[in-house]
Amino acid sequence: MNQLYLLLVLFLFCCSSSYAQEAQIEYGNNPAAGGHILINGFKMYYEVYGEGEPLLLIHGNGGSIKGHSKRIEYFKKKYKVIAADSRSHGKSEDLGDSLTYKNMTSDYNALLNYLDIDSCLIWGQSDGGIIGLLLAIDYPDKVKRMAAFGANIRPDTSAVYSSIVNWVEATLEKTKDEHERRLFTLLKYQPNISYDDLAQIKAPVLIMSGDRDAIKLEHTIDIFNHIENANLFIMPGATHFGAYEKTDLFNTVLSSFFEQPFSKKATVDIFK
């Protein structure tokens, strides 16, 4: 009985110690998990967690690895999770040059090359979703499956709600912060991805959006309709940040997309 009690105490102590250690991880500022590498003329900061099939997480405009904390916690239990700060974001170097999604896409491809990863799963939020689409277009061999939440292929009001477009323009008019100006200039003039570009994507893609997103619902559906191997998920009661607002639902849907056989079965196929 005493031995059983001691084993129980030891087990609880190990669990609590493990939890305390886990809780102390400062994602986005953890040198033990990554560091800076020189690629494409700047120092890019990245971190890697877990083991298994590689999963690349790409943050949105103005974001960083820190925004991925809950996703890293969840997905590192099964995947080798790779997260990085895009150029001029977070702890990555800011060269002060013009930002383009094409350059950022090249950066993430170079990061995967540095880590000796020939292909991976990808999830991107907003700008990260745009970069994910461009990875699937420009570097198709790197993409096993890709999910994008709140991505757009045009920057104007045909894709983005006018209230958001007006907010971007108003910010550019009043800001005196050069870094902020470059981030918002990116939003105002990019991306410019064509339907022909989307048609090049062969990897399975999950297009995701909140039903109250910054991106027009019809634009999200338009992207879905122009990718051959695409699934669509509209999160109910969610904004552009649905992945953060409804974390459990998001994790469940994304896990299912990554783990289940990809399907394009139509209702008529069932009747047949």
Residue 193 has phi, psi (to 5 degrees) of -105, 130
- Sheet containing strand 54-58, edge to edge, reads 34-39, 42-49, 80-84, 54-58, 120-125, 143-149, 205-210, 230-235
What is the predicted pLDDT for the residue at 230? 98
136 touches 227 (CB < 8 A): no
231 touches 207 (CB < 8 A): yes
Which residues is 208 bridged to in the sheet? 149, 233
Which segments of the chain have a pLDDT < 50? 1-22
Average model confidence (pLDDT) across the chain: 93
Handedness of CA 216, 219, 220, 221 (dihedral sign): positive
Superfamily of domain 25-257: Alpha/Beta hydrolase fold, catalytic domain (3.40.50.1820)
What is the predicted pLDDT for the residue at 185? 98
What is the predicted pLDDT for the residue at 20? 39
238 touches 246 (CB < 8 A): yes
Model pLDDT for residues 92-151, shown as the tens digit of each residue? 999 999 999 999 999 999 999 999 999 999 999 999 999 999 999 999 999 999 999 999
What is the predicted pLDDT for the residue at 19? 37
20 touches 13 (CB < 8 A): no
Q: Which sequence spans correspond to the domains of the chain?
A: 25-257
Handedness of CA 8, 14, 19, 20 (dihedral sign): positive
Angle at 224 between CA 218 and CA 226, to 5 degrees: 105
17 CB-near residues (< 8 Å, 6+ apart)? none
- Tokens for 71, please give them: 């996703």
What is the predicted pLDDT for the residue at 152? 98
Handedness of CA 79, 258, 74, 138 (dihedral sign): positive
What is the predicted pLDDT for the residue at 272? 83
Establish whether the linkage from the previous residue to 191 is cis, with ω within 30° of 0.
yes
